[in-house]
Amino acid sequence: MQAGWEDPRLRALEQLLALPAAELRPTLDTAGQIISKLLNADKVDVFLIEHGTQTLVAMGTSQTPMAHLQKSLGLDRQPLANGGRAVQVYETETPFISGHIEDDPEELPGIKHRLGARSALMVPLPIGDETRGVVGVSSARNDFFTDNDLRFLQAAARWVGMVAHRVELVQELTKLAVRQARRKAAEDLITVLAHDMANHLLPLQARIQLIHRRAQRKNEPEDLRDSAGAAASLRSLTRLINDLLDVGRLDQGLFSLRLQPVDLSGLARELTATASTPDHPVRFEGPEELVTTADPDRVRQVLENLVANALKHSPPGKPVEVRLQAGLPEGEPRVRITVCDQGSGIPAEQLPTLFERFMRGPGSTGLGLGLYLARRLAEAHGGTLEVVSTSRTGTCFGLSLPLVAG
């Protein structure tokens, strides 16, 4: 190409960077058109790697006869296994220039003979921190491109990569915003439903109690058993609704703690004694008394959730260990309660999202609110809730709370 094109090429780069962050394919098509017009090329391709099929796919092309012919021949998709110069540039990240493609034994026969390409420029396409494709320019004339054209194409590819990265980021942010909006609407709806359902619990509980007392008076064992089962189901429903309401209160900033002196040793000892069964023993280890300032109902809620989870995942006969100790980590007096099982552990891929709302662990059948609320309640006390889990040692949850005198 002729010298003295600095200004047109600068304007072309400015046009590339000014492309709107809309859909990826139209944006890359426009980039191909800009480069094709400036270099007077018969075809420009912006290839991106399709990892699932290990194929370079022309996501952006110039609107030229050679480009249309390429698509009709199926050459807009180039599997890595088939080789060719575009694949070579992608894999080696090394630019390529040739003025006699027809004599190149490394180029695909379809490119040389059916498409009629004679000159070619190809450069790797960086998007973000990695090479994600190739920008290729072709001409039907021999010795058509110069080293200056190659340097310009390298600069243009970097700019195209920035535009493509911006498009992908915008698309990802848009998807995230849509997901968050849908989730917020669903959470608001669930909170409203929980409020409405809570209004029906007290009269339902009163009727079950009446049925139970009547069955006691008449000594009707089947009615006693059925009413007891209904009362247990109602307690489970009440806990679920209360969890949903707590989530709503936390989100709205309406949640508050009723702080008072509480003996954590006594609370934990009582809870473990209640939860222990012959098949699933729960053992407590800790001092006779350890008093701090906390909301006893909320601490109990956290520990009940952790112990229930541990029992659910413990093999029969294997004890759940609840340990309580005071210490001075990082110079601050704190109390730590650990709840450990000897189960198969939590899969590593689930650990990062274990404490998110509506995220259920392995084998869980609930809504996935228990651990989310447990961590939020720990944080409301100025504490933390962490987990360590392996398939060899099982799972340990550690609740850390400030040790505050009453």
Question: Residues 180-237: pLDDT tens digits?
Answer: 776 666 566 666 666 667 777 778 888 888 888 888 888 888 888 888 888 877 777 7
What integer best gives the mean pLDDT of the chain?
83
pLDDT value of position 131: 93
CATH 3.30.70.1290 for domain 260-402: no
The angle subtended at Cα 122 by Cα 103 and Cα 19, nearest 5°, is: 150
Residue boundaries of the structural domains of the chain: 6-173, 180-252, 260-402
Mean pLDDT in residue range 286-294: 91
The secondary structure of 341-387 as a DSSP string is: --SS---GGGGGGTTSTT---TT--S-S-HHHHHHHHHHHTT-EEEE
- Enter the tokens of residue 378: 């720990």
Give 335 or 234, the one with higher predicted confidence. Answer: 335
> How far apart are alpha carbons 325 and 303 in whole angstroms?
15
Strands 320-327 and 334-340: antiparallel
Whether residue 1 has pLDDT greater than 60: no
- Give 198's contacts (C-beta < 8 A, 6+ positions apart): 241, 242, 245
Q: What percent of the chain stands above pLDDT 90?
A: 34
393: DSSP letter: T
What is the pLDDT at residue 56?
95
| CB 380 within 8 Å of CB 255 | yes
| Residues facing residue 394 across a β-bridge | 390
Q: Given the structure tokens 């700019």, which residue do they identify?
A: 159
Span 147-172, mean pLDDT? 83
For the segment 243-267, what is each residue's pLDDT rounded down to a tens digit?
A: 777 777 776 666 788 899 999 999 9
Q: Confidence band (pLDDT; 50, 70, 90) for 96? A: very high
Average pLDDT over residues 380-398: 88
Least confident of 27-31, 84-88, 313-317: 27-31
Counting every residue, how long is the chain? 406
Q: How confident is the model at residue 17 (pLDDT cuts 50, 70, 90)?
A: low
Which CATH architecture group holds 6-173? Answer: 2-Layer Sandwich (3.30)
Determine the Cα–Cα distance for residues 9 and 151; give it in Å rounded to an integer: 11
pLDDT at residue 123, rounded to an integer: 94
Whether the model pTM is above 0.85: no
